[in-house]
Each structure stands twice: as C-alpha cells, then as structure tokens.
A and B are shown apart, each in its own frame.
Chain A
C-alpha cells in the first residue's frame, strides 16, 4: 500500500491520511478547489474536454492534445509507445512515465536508493494508485520547456529569467512525497496533454492535475506563436498593484499585442507556478498562489495589461459571500483592552502569502508574527490613563516629597559644645587627694586609722601553718601576677614572705608569667634586706615557666626537666644550673617542697595551680595569696570538706592582721591610712551619686506637681 512521507518529520503515513500520525502536520496542502465552471471554461478551444466527456470521451480530447503536443515536440516517439500498464493503472500516467523517462536520464542505477528503485520499478508496472503524479507533472513540465525553448531563444529569454527568478522554495521533503488518491481531491485536476493518456476514472470531474494545467498554459503559446497568455495567466494571481497596463507605444516590437480574446482566454486559464526546479528537476507541490510574483521580473506591457482588470471585480466575483464577523458578547468582554494599536494595517487576504511549509502549509492569511513582535507601534492614549487609588496617590506624593527633599542641601549641624568631664576629674582628684593626704598625717599631727581589731577566722590557721613549717626543705612561692597588681599583692604577700624570711625558711620562686621573676626579685630583695637574707642562700629564683597548665603539671612531676637555667642567680651559680644550688638539694618533684605559696590576682591562675598540682603535691600545703577580687572563686577550694587549699590570705586588712598576730613589725601605717582614705573617698562618691539622683528625682517630682 502506498504511503506518504511527512514533510515535517519524514514519518511514513497512510496514503489517505491528511495529517501526519506523528507530528500532526498536514500532508496534503490546502488549496481551494476551483469552481467547476472555471475548469470547464479553461478547457475551451477544444483543448480540455467538457466535463461530460471526462468519463466516456477521454480518448478524444486526449488524442487531440496528444496530436497538438506532438507537433514540434521531442517526445512524440515516447507518446506513440504502446500501453503496457495493467488494467488497474491509468494508461495515461503509465505512458507519461515512460515518455518522460526517456527525456530525463536520471541518476545511475547504482546510485538510486532502494526506495527509489522500488518506486521506479513499481512505476513500470504501476497501478492507478501507485502512479507518482508529481513525477508526471515534472515530466510534463520538462516537456513543455523543451518545446518552448526554440521560441524563447529567438526573442528575449525572459521566460528563462522568469523561471530563474521563480523562488525555488519547496516544502522540505517534498521530493519524497508520493501522491495519493486523496491528493486529487485537494489538488486541481491536471488536463492531459501531448500524450495519449486516459484520465484516471476515479478522479473527480472538477479536479485537474496541476501539471496538466501547466501544460495547458504552454500549449496555447505554442499554437499562437507567443506566450503572452501563459505569462498573463501567471500574473493573474499577482497583487493588483502590479497589474499596470502597458501602453501600445511601449510594446515590444517582436511581441505583438494580444487581442482581447486571447487575453480573456488566458485569464480564464488555470495557472500553476513553475513546479520544476531547473537545476534539480524536483517537483514541487506549490500551488498557484504560492508563487511570489513580487520576485518575478515582468515586462512592462504585462503589468499594464493586467492592471486593466479591476481587482475589486475579481474580489467581488471570487470572494465568498460571508457575513461580517461578529464576536459574541462574552468574547467581546474578554478581549483585551485596545491599549496599543498597530500602525500596520492588515492587508487583504488575497494579498497575503500562502504558507508553503509546516503544519499550516497551504493556508492563506496566517497570522504574522512580525507586526506584533518586531514592528514599531505607538501607544494609544488609553495606555497613559492609570487608575490610581488614594493610597497610591498618597504614596506617590510621599515619594516625590522624599526625592525633592533629597535634593535640598542640608545646612551643617552646629557642633555640639564639648562638655568638660568635670565629674570625672572631680572624682579622680578626690581619690588622688585621699591617697596622698595620709603621707602628711604625721607632719600635720593627724591620727590615722586604727589597725583592725577583728581578725578573720581564716587567718589563725595560716599563721600557725607558716609558723610550723620546717626549714630543712625550701618553700615554693609562685609569683603569678602582673605589675599592675603589685601595689596590692606586694603588701599582702609581703607579710607572708617576711614571716617566712624571719623564720629562715628557704624560698624558691617561680612564675608562669614573664613579669613574675623581676617582681619576685624586687619584693624578696626588699624584704630580705631587713633580715640579712642573701640571694642564693635564703632564696632562689627559678625564673619563667612557660607552657601554661601543662608546664605547671610537668613542673609538679619533674621540675628539673622544665626549669633549666634560673633567674638572677648568684655568681656561684651563674655558669651552672640552678639545681646545683644547695637550696634545691633533694628536690625532685613538687611534693619535695615544704610549702607552696601561690600569689596571684587571677582566678584562672589560682585554679590551674590548684588542679594541676593536686595529684603530685602530696602532703605539701598549698597557700593562696590573692587579690580581693579573686577570693570568691578560690574560697570553694579552701572551704571544701577535703580542701585543696590549706590557707588563704587576701586583702590588705588581712595582711595587716597577719602582721599584727604573727609578730611582724607594723610598718604599713601609711599604706593603711591611704587605703582607708581611698575607701572613704569611694564610699562618699557612691553616697554623693545616690544623693544626686534622689535630688533630681525630687526636683522632677516637684515640677510634675
């Protein structure tokens, strides 16, 4: 069964299919059938048999055509070949194929694809349904060209140029199309010519193959000795603007003016464009209306001749009697507002081109995208009319005001008068005065503050501990505070260190801070001076212990492996190790010290020493000398059921009490008075601040009333 190849997706479809089963593209171009009357008229002059003869008298009119075509034709031999087709095949098509096969040599047999070979083979024995109609049209066209060639060569070869200028555009895959019987319904029925072929019996009367019609437009020119009718017939479908009449003065000399009868006949003829590509010889299914006449270069006389026919009359006669289109009310309501109006007027349907490819192939007046997308348009007045609500209007006003204010130049703000920090200076002056004044109490005869009479309950165990420490082994004193706390901690730790020096307890110092060793050296040097203690004999500095908590633990386990050199060693030990000192004999670990005293102002440092030394400190007591601020965080270690800290000494009052109850000289009178005056100044400051606030609150309360 014959199949049709889809021009869009090349899918093979049934012969009777109108649309592709795969892509739904139309397989048969949509061409409006001509009225039967025109077809009958086009067969005037005896070239086309009347419709009544289509069934029974085919042989006659075909014979006439064959006889006319045989004159001066090079295909007469082929036309005289006997019919070899079977009964099912149309004779005229088979003969046409045979006749044309002799004209067109075609490609070598070895280069013909299989499907084409089958097609050709089938053509020899083709039945009526399998005859490739397009091929017959092509051959007819070729035959007509060969017949016209001698005459065209004599005068201007404008026919050749006409064909050359004819667009070669063809639907893709058209050459692969196999005509189907259904095509006959949509394609004009061709009129057989030059060959003694019987028309297909199943063809409708109103349809004539296009190629045959093309033959018709050639035949009269051959008979009349000119080609004016045929060319004019081509112009028949051109836009009216191109149909300009030509004056007799402008006629070409070699080309006589056609008479009215010939012109009328030519106009009534059906015309088809050149369906044959001159170079490839491919057939085309382009309809008459597909021919782009704008690209055809016509003689002037042709344009004038065509313009004589009023296009309006043609439109009126050919246009369908249709009522003007009206939109239903609901569709009219849904139609978008005509905001923009295109400047491009939609042309008449007859002027519009016919789609030559794609699913819309064959349709005329397809909506064009260019006027909507690419062509310039102007906005109508309705577009500028906005519906603005009050809120939007207010927001717009606000935005405009903001923009206007943004452009205004803001005057430079006056620099605020810088207020002197009198309160801060006053407090600093009071504190400074409070600390300095006690130094003049003795000269002024002012009695200072009395020493504390109340002793903390924590102080007595500490004094007893220091008093009971044996002096055979040294005590380790850790100076872990910065110089900023030296004013407080030197006073507090001085009492404990002086007690130890007074008891001739050897002191070994170490510090986890770089500033610790010089602080230790300064404090011990000052204390030892009063008791004749000497560096290297009564005390010794191990120096800086780097490494943080890890170094503390390592020092607790193996102090000799951590500290190697020492700090500010005596001359006897300047070239050797600090561990060669007699003070450190027998000290291998932290527990070998008789006492460990940690002087610090930081809670983290105190916690590090408590926690890191606890597993290896053994029975060696640990004493904390702290700043007043660090006491709360260290006290839990001291007040635990199993205390890790054996004594705490914190704050200047405790140090003064320690001196009082340990029998140390009270040389801290000035410091004690300065401490008391400073405390007084701070207390008064807070009281003054409270009074100031209460006063302001009362004033505001009175103003409110």
Chain B
C-alpha cells in the first residue's frame, strides 16, 4: 500500500468535499466581502469551475471515443458497420457545419428541426404503440392478480386523465378523475417519497464515506 500517495489523494478529496459542502450551510448574502470565509467561498467557486470544465472535456472525450469505436467497427467491417459508417458521416458533417457556421446558425437549426426533432419524436411515439401492445398481451396471456391490478390501474388512470371512453362532461368522468388523482398523488406519491428518501439517505452515506476517505473512487 502506497501510504504517501493514498494520504495525498485522500486529503485532496476530503478537503475539496468539505469546502464544497460548507457552501450549502452558508447564506451567500451573509458572506463578507473580505476575510477567510470569503476566500474559502472563492476557492469553492474555483473548484466548481474546474469541475464544470472537466465535465465539458469529458463530453469531448466521449465524442472522440464514440468516433473511434465506430471507426474501428467500419475498418473491421463487423456486424452493422454500415450504420456506423452513416453515424460517422453525419457526425463529421454536423461537426463541420457547427464549427464553420456555429451551433445557432440556420443550417444547424435546419438540420435539428428537420432530422433530429422528428426522429426523436417518432421514437417517443413508438413508445405508445409498444406500451399498448404490452398491455394487450399482458391481459390476454397472463391472467393472474398482479396483471389484473396493473392493467386495471392503468385503465383507471387513462380514463381519469382525459377524454377517451368518457368525455370530460360525463358524470362518471369526475369519479375516475378523482380516482386517478388519488392514485397519482397519494399512492404513487407515497411510493415516490419512499424512493426519494432512499435516494437521499444513499447519497448522504455515499458522500460521508467519500468525505471520510472510506470510499476512494480516485484510487489508492
């Protein structure tokens, strides 16, 4: 075990984490213009800028890695290499146009509004078809209690969410709308609170372990 290196990395991680964490407990309006606290606050901002910069660099590295992966796939002509070739061509074209004309130029906006936006919207629309098909198969092939509860809940929420089987002027629509709101705001929200509490506790524990140098994702 490299004691010296380990201590150095742990000290840097713990110090950085504590400085950033202290910012949550300080009101920004109450920070004096000069003094140690102000300097710590400025150091905290500096560290966060570095983090943002590194995030941007990581995005660039990710793009470069994606390009290399698909380039190798095309070079070795592995399965689906034609799609990789299309990706590389479109990537290079978009990148070139963006670098030349800028990301907010009409050319890039045209490409976005004409290709990316319809494609992604269509993929989302397919989700509705897929979910409908899954619901059909579920009630047609699996006839257990859980399946019936699942499909029944989905049907109630659909009916109560908007016009469909029942118009909004229908007398029963109010019933289903109230039932839907109860499901969404009580049952689902209760489950969501539990999930959020779990996530919060997990985040706290993870953060404390990193701050106490118990977990060292930066390595030993």
Residues of A near any B CB (own CB < 8 A): 423-424, 427-428, 431, 449-454, 456, 482-487, 515, 517-519, 521-522, 541, 543, 546-548, 550-551, 553-554, 557-558, 561-562, 567-569, 589, 607, 615-616, 628, 631-633, 635-636, 639, 651-653, 672-673, 675-676, 678-690, 692-694, 696-697
Contacts and interface: CB of A to CB of B under 8 A. Distances in A.
Interface in B23-70: 23-24, 27-28, 45, 48-49, 51-52, 55-56, 59
Q: Which of B23, B51, B132, B181 has the most CB of A within 10 A?
A: B132
Contacts of B154: 686
17 contacts: A449-B168, A452-B168, A454-B174, A483-B121, A484-B124, A486-B120, A547-B55, A554-B49, A554-B52, A561-B49, A633-B195, A676-B162, A676-B164, A679-B161, A689-B139, A690-B140, A697-B143
A693 B123 CA distance: 29
Interface string B113-129: 10011011101110011
B45 A554 contact: yes
Interface string B158-174: 11011111011100011
Contacts of B129: 424, 427-428, 431
B161 A651 contact: yes
Contacts of A423: 133, 136-137
A639 B121 CA distance: 32
B104 interface: yes
A554 B27 CA distance: 14
Nearest to B126: A428
A683 B166 CA distance: 10
Given A551-B52, A554-B52, A690-B140, 16 more contacts: A423-B137, A424-B133, A427-B133, A431-B129, A483-B120, A546-B59, A550-B55, A557-B23, A615-B23, A633-B195, A653-B162, A676-B162, A680-B165, A690-B151, A694-B143, A697-B143
Interface in B92-141: 103-104, 108-109, 112-113, 116-117, 119-121, 123-125, 128-129, 131-133, 135-141
Given A636-B189, A675-B162, A683-B158, A484 B121 contact: yes
A567 B104 contact: yes
Nearest to B189: A635
Contacts of A486: 117, 120-121
B163 A562 contact: no
Given A522-B113, A551-B52, A558-B45, A683 B195 contact: no
Contacts of B125: 487
Give 8 nearest A-B pairs by CB, closest first. Answer: A676-B163, A679-B164, A547-B52, A689-B136, A484-B124, A449-B163, A632-B188, A568-B104
Contacts of A427: 129, 132-133, 136
A685 B162 contact: no
Contacts of A452: 162, 168
Interface of B: 23-24, 27-28, 45, 48-49, 51-52, 55-56, 59, 103-104, 108-109, 112-113, 116-117, 119-121, 123-125, 128-129, 131-133, 135-143, 151, 154-155, 158-159, 161-165, 167-169, 173-174, 177, 181, 184-185, 188-189, 191-193, 195-196
A553 B192 contact: no
A451 B168 contact: yes
Given A484-B124, A693-B139, A546 B56 contact: yes
Instruction: Label chain A's interface by main secondary structure.
Output: helix
A509 to B, nearest CB: 12
Nearest to A429: B129
B139 A686 contact: yes
B169 A615 contact: no
A686 B116 contact: no
